[in-house]
Each structure stands twice: as C-alpha cells, then as structure tokens.
C-alpha cells in the first residue's frame, strides 16, 4: 500500500517549504462537505493531505466540525497515517504551556456529536481500547523531539463539548481522574479514524493550564492563540519530518489499526441496509465486499 500522510489541524500547519505539486481538492462525502477542501502535495517523495479542522478562517465550532466527513475524506484520498495536531490545556503542573504531548488515551465527555459511521441497518462495534496507533505516535514523538520542543510521550486527553472552557469544579474533577490534558476536538475524531481503519495519532500542543492552576489566570482565547502561534513553526517542522520517518511502504499496521473492523460488523448479511452499505463503502468497504 502506498504511503500517504494526512494531517488534521490548524490552517497554518500545511504551510511547509518544499511541498511539491500543491493543490486544494474538493472531496464529496455521504456526510456532507468536510471542514474545507483538502490541501494535497508531495513532500520528500511522500504524498501528503492537509485538512484545516475548523476550516480556513476558523468557521466551525468544536461541535459543528464535520468529523465524519473529514475522516471519510482522508480515507477516500488514500491516507494511511493520520496525524491530528490539536491545541489543549494542561491538567498537570509538569506539562507546561509550549510543551507537546503525544496522546495515547481519551476520556470522551462530548454529547452533541455524531460519533460513528455505523447506523441502523448496519450495526458495528469497534474496539477503541487503544485509540492511538503506537507506531505512528512513536514517529510523531521522534519528529517532535527533533524540533527542540519538550515532548511528553503518552497521556490522557479529556474531550469536552465546549465551546466554553471548563468551570473550576470541572477542571478539578478531570485532574482527580488522572487526566493530563483537555481539549474540544479529540473526539469523535479518534473513534472515527479507528472505524475507518486509519492509523491515528494526536500531537497535543499545550497552550495553557486550563483554570485549575492558582498561579495562572483562567484560560482565554488570546492566551491560547498566542501560545499556539509560538509553536506553529515547531508544528510545521514536526510534520515536515514525518515523511522521512514513515516513508517505508506498509501493508498492515502492527498495532492492528488497519484490521479494526475484522469482527466489528454485527448485522447479518441478509439484514444489511443497502443504502447504509453504500455510504460506508469507502470507510468499511474492506469488510463489506462480497
């Protein structure tokens, strides 16, 4: 299988020197339009696809991001390795604004989003016990270290609905759970990537201490944007290093990401809705054929 690296993140992540044959491409999906067109190109001989999660100009709220359309578009483009770059708040003293954390677990506290490609007429249950691809996460950590940023490998991301930031009581609650960072877009993105059998990793860029820290002001947009802008160059350098770490062709992921649907479909073949099967022909076609 030909390697293609996908990146979902801020609008500036795709501004990488050396990207060849760059073009914006529109992708249609059964779940409507993605957040934006997909920016494609080739970097050091590896195909790349970039999608601004909130759209250029930040037009989508965390709730209205079309997560299913975004993941479908990445799968349809041929993405094999999908890296999410996300701004988050820290829930631990040791994880400071400006640091990067490679996420390996999630607590999903969202409630107003469609979280699965499967629906009545075609029922599927996929395991997300280990939602991040260890192989891809390790490559992201290596690439991040090369930028000189402080990198923390492994951590739990609390996905909140938003768009408001946490109350102090909520922030303290999430800390008591042992969570490491908090954000608004990690779910259902990671779950949908698993259903689509795409290797997925999240690079969390820490911008603030949420509101729990007694020596820091409560988080606001200006603080988040300022820290994110300081880290923009390092995020681009991280992405630019990935082709060199992930260029080798690979038919199967050793973590099992590419076979996540092997035993997921519950609906008997004779009871499967043809319309739903058609909608899922891209993300689940491997197990629906025949």
Other C-beta atoms lying within 10 Å of the C-beta of residue 111: 9
Alpha carbon distance 172, 170 (integer Å): 5
For residue 210, indicate whether it is catalytic: yes
What radius of gyration do the chain's Cα atoms show? 18
For residue 233, indicate whether it is catalytic: no
For the chain, helix (H) and strand (E) counts, in that order, are 7, 11
Q: Helix 221-246 vs helix 134-145: angle between axes, to the nearest 10 degrees?
A: 110
Distances 153 to 69, 103, 166, 230 between C-alpha atoms, Å = 29, 7, 25, 21
- Residue linked to tokens 């996420």: 103
Alpha carbon distance 257, 8 (integer Å): 18
Other C-beta atoms lying within 10 Å of the C-beta of residue 217: 10
Q: Which of 99, 104, 208, 217 is catalytic?
A: 208
DSSP code, position 164: S
- Cβ-based burial of 23 (10 A; exposed 0-12, middle 13-18, buried ≥19): exposed
Decide: 82 and 193 in contact? Cβ < 8 Å.
yes
DSSP code, position 99: -
CA atoms within 13 A on the CB side of 190: 30
Q: Which of 104, 210, 233, 273 is catalytic?
A: 210
Pairing state between β 156-159 and 105-108: parallel
Beta-bridge mates of residue 170? none
- Catalytic positions: 208, 210
């Amino acid at each position: 299988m030909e390697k293609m690296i996908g990146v979902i993140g801020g609008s500036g992540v795709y501004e990488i020197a050396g990207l060849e044959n760059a073009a914006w491409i529109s992708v249609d999906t059964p779940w409507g339009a993605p957040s934006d067109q997909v920016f494609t190109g080739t970097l050091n001989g590896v195909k790349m696809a970039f999608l601004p999660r909130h759209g250029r100009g930040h037009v989508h709220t965390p709730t209205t991001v079309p997560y299913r359309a975004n993941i479908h578009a990445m799968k349809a483009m041929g993405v094999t390795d999908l890296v999410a770059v996300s701004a988050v708040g820290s829930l631990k003293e040791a994880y400071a604004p400006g640091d990067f954390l490679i996420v390996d677990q999630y607590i999903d506290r969202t409630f107003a989003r469609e979280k699965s490609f499967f629906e009545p007429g075609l029922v599927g249950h996929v395991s997300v016990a280990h939602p991040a691809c260890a192989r891809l996460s390790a490559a992201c950590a290596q690439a991040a270290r090369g930028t000189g940023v402080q990198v923390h490998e492994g951590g739990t991301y609390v996905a909140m609905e938003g768009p408001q930031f946490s109350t102090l009581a909520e922030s303290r609650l999430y800390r008591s759970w042992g969570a490491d960072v908090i954000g608004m877009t990690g779910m259902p993105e990671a779950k949908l990537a698993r259903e689509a059998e795409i290797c997925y990793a999240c690079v969390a860029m820490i911008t603030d201490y949420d509101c729990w820290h007694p020596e820091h002001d409560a988080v606001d947009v200006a603080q988040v944007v300022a820290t994110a802008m300081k880290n923009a160059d390092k995020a681009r350098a991280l992405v630019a290093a990935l082709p060199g770490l992930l260029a080798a062709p690979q038919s199967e992921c050793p973590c099992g990401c590419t076979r996540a649907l092997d035993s997921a479909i519950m609906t008997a073949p004779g009871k499967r809705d043809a319309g739903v099967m058609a909608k899922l022909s891209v993300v689940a076609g491997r197990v629906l054929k025949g």
